[in-house]
Structure 1
Amino acid sequence: MDIYSYYNDKLAASPEEVFAVINDDKQLKNIFSILKEIEYSTKGKRSKGTKFRVTLGVRDKTYRFRNEITEYVHNRRIIMKTRLKQGVITTLFNVEPRGGHSELTVKSSIESSMGVKVFAMTVKPVAKTVMNKEMKKLEEAVRNLNLK
């Protein structure tokens, strides 16, 4: 069941430039105000099998999630799994060239069961509101790449 979806096919930067932002913890923490900390429990920071914890601050609450990168294609794609007591969230970050622009897709979905559906329906509106604001900041950061 989908809990968040974002698509933009008009990012005015190369896929490599967009991916460089997505692939850099420091930039992500500067862009996403909800992202407080990323702690790695494996040596590699960006490869299949990388395990890490993310700390988020949303609406005066702190959340910590265990994650694992399950697919990594340099300059194109990251797929990660986030383990919650309610289930497993799969998140995709995918960047593709589109003429002189880039296409960015971000999708999060949770495994579907009756209990998970209730959880997803509760989380979806908050995730959409918060993440749409954060993705606008990512778009701005990508726009600023070309102004430098």
Structure 2
Amino acid sequence: MDIYSYRNDKLEASPEEVFAVINDDRQLKNIFSILKDIQYSTKGKRAKGTKFRITLGVREKTYRFRNEIIEYADNNKIIMKTRLKQGVITTLFNVESKGEYSELTVKSSIESSVGVRMFVLTAKPVVKSVMNKEMKKFEEAVISEN
């Protein structure tokens, strides 16, 4: 069941430039005001099998999530799983060349189980509102880096 979907096929930067921002924890913390901390429990920071915990601050509440990168392709794709009480969220970050532009796609979905539908219906509008604002800042950061 989808939680969040974002796509921009007119980013004025190369896939390498877009991915460099996605791959830089310091830049991500500066861009995404909801991202408070990232702590790794494995040596590598960007590879299949990397495990980490993120701390988010949303509307004066703090949330901590356990994550694992399940697929990684340099300058192209990261797929990660986030474990919640309500289920497992899979998030895709994909960057592709579109001529003189890059296309960035971000999608999050949760594995369905009993009770998840109500959770998603409640959380989805908040996630969309918060993440759309954060992705706008991400776009501005990518463009200003070039």
Aligned equivalents of 1:42 and 1:93: distance in 2? 21
* Equivalent in the alignment of 1:80: 80
| Structure 2 counterpart SS, 1:33 | coil
TM-score (normalised: structure 2) = 0.99
* Equivalent in the alignment of 2:115: 115
Gaps of 5+ in 1: none
Question: What amino acid does structure 2 have at the position aligned with 1:61?
Answer: K
* Equivalent in the alignment of 1:51: 51
Where has structure 1 moved over 3 Å in runs of 4 or more? none
Question: What amino acid does structure 2 have at the position aligned with 1:100?
Answer: E
Question: What amino acid does structure 2 have at the position aligned with 1:126?
Answer: V
Displacement after TM superposition at 1:113 (Å):
2.1
Aligned equivalents of 1:59 and 1:145: distance in 2? 29
* Equivalent in the alignment of 1:39: 39
* Equivalent in the alignment of 2:69: 69
**CA RMSD across the alignment:** 0.5
Does 1:96 find its partner at 2:99?
A: no
Displacement after TM superposition at 1:120 (Å):
0.7
* Equivalent in the alignment of 1:124: 124
* Equivalent in the alignment of 1:136: 136
* Equivalent in the alignment of 1:19: 19
Matched pairs, number: 146
Displacement after TM superposition at 1:145 (Å):
1.6
Displacement after TM superposition at 1:61 (Å):
0.2
Question: What amino acid does structure 1 have at the position aligned with 2:97?
Answer: P
Aligned equivalents of 1:15 and 1:123: distance in 2? 31
Which moves more between the two structures, 107-116 or 91-100?
Answer: 107-116
Gaps of 5+ in 2: none
Displacement after TM superposition at 1:34 (Å):
0.2
| Structure 1 counterpart SS, 2:79 | strand
TM-score (normalised: structure 1) = 0.98
| Structure 2 counterpart SS, 1:114 | coil
Which moves more between the two structures, 4-13 or 137-146?
Answer: 137-146
Aligned equivalents of 2:102 and 2:114: distance in 1? 37
